[in-house]
Amino acid sequence: MQTDIVAGVSHDLKTPLAGISASAQLLTSGRANTPEEVKEFSGYILNEAKRLTAVVEKVLTLAKLETQQVAMHPEAISIVCLVDQAIESVRSAFPKATIVRGNIPDDNVSGDFQGLATVLVNLIDNAVRYSNAEAPWVQVDAEWNTHGEKRDLHLRVRDRGVGIPVEEQSYIFQKFYRVQQGMVCDTEGTGLGLAIASEIIRAHHGSIQVESQPGFGSVFTVVLPYERPNFSH
């Protein structure tokens, strides 16, 4: 796993580091002649530093999840509150995006609140980032499905983005994988969000699936069992 992490994260670290280094050289060499230029280069350094921090935090989170070092605590969670918090978290970062709450049962689901919130945030964030529209549209809805004596919650995140080719859909939950189509290749990201979401849902004894067609968007479905999950290892 350590080899995979080093290989996968090298580009994500090198790119912002190169930008920080170039901006710092301009500042220290005195070539930033005006207060506006100093502010511009300083702001760039700050933004790239934040990007580096995000990469490192996601790498550490995934490593802990894969080695079962993340403590999760099952509790009764309001599905409405869970969805609303995730939507607001992403909406604050992308004010131009239209993120709507569809039909959500006024009910509780058992799980780790922070973990499930992370899953939804990652899915909504991906849907917004990988959209080819100037004003991305995303909808989150949920419903209970009953099969015999089994009852599951289906949480869905729908978008109208570029879509994912069928041949790549089986790889998107692997760490550092990025879809090699259209705008997605140019989208900033660590390639870890879906891998983290997959590990969290696996710990909940659930599943995460995708239905997608290039040019018509994607639907990610998280399936969570009604029963209280056992997080003991």
Specify the pLDDT at position 23: 83
The whole-angstrom separation of Cα 227 and Cα 224 is: 9
Residue 9 CB contacts under 8 Å (≥ 6 apart), including other chains: 55, 59, 176, 190
Contact between 45 and 51 under an 8 Å Cβ cutoff? The reply is: no
What distances in angstroms separate CA 132 from CA 24, 27, 47, 215, 220, one per listed residue? 33, 35, 23, 9, 17
The CATH topology of domain 75-225 is: Heat Shock Protein 90 (3.30.565)
DSSP letter (8 states) at residue 149: T
- Full-model pTM: 0.76
Second CATH level (architecture) for the domain 2-66 = Orthogonal Bundle (1.10)
What phi, psi does 31 have (nearest 5°)? -80, -5
The residue with tokens 């899915």 is 123
Contact between 55 and 190 under an 8 Å Cβ cutoff? The reply is: yes
The residue with tokens 């609303």 is 84
Tell me how long the chain is. 233
DSSP E strands in the chain: the ranges are 75-78, 98-101, 108-111, 137-147, 150-159, 207-212, 218-225
Phi-psi region of 42 (alpha: psi -120 to 50; beta: other; left: phi over 0): alpha
The whole-angstrom separation of Cα 212 and Cα 160 is: 10
Going residue by residue through the chain, which has 233 residues, state the pLDDT in tens, using 9 for 90 and above.
Answer: 444 555 556 656 666 777 888 888 888 887 777 888 888 888 888 887 877 777 777 777 777 777 777 778 889 999 999 999 999 999 988 888 999 999 999 999 999 999 999 999 999 999 998 886 778 999 999 999 998 888 999 999 999 988 999 999 988 888 777 766 544 444 555 678 899 999 999 999 999 999 999 989 999 999 999 887 776 54
Domain ranges of the chain: 2-66, 75-225
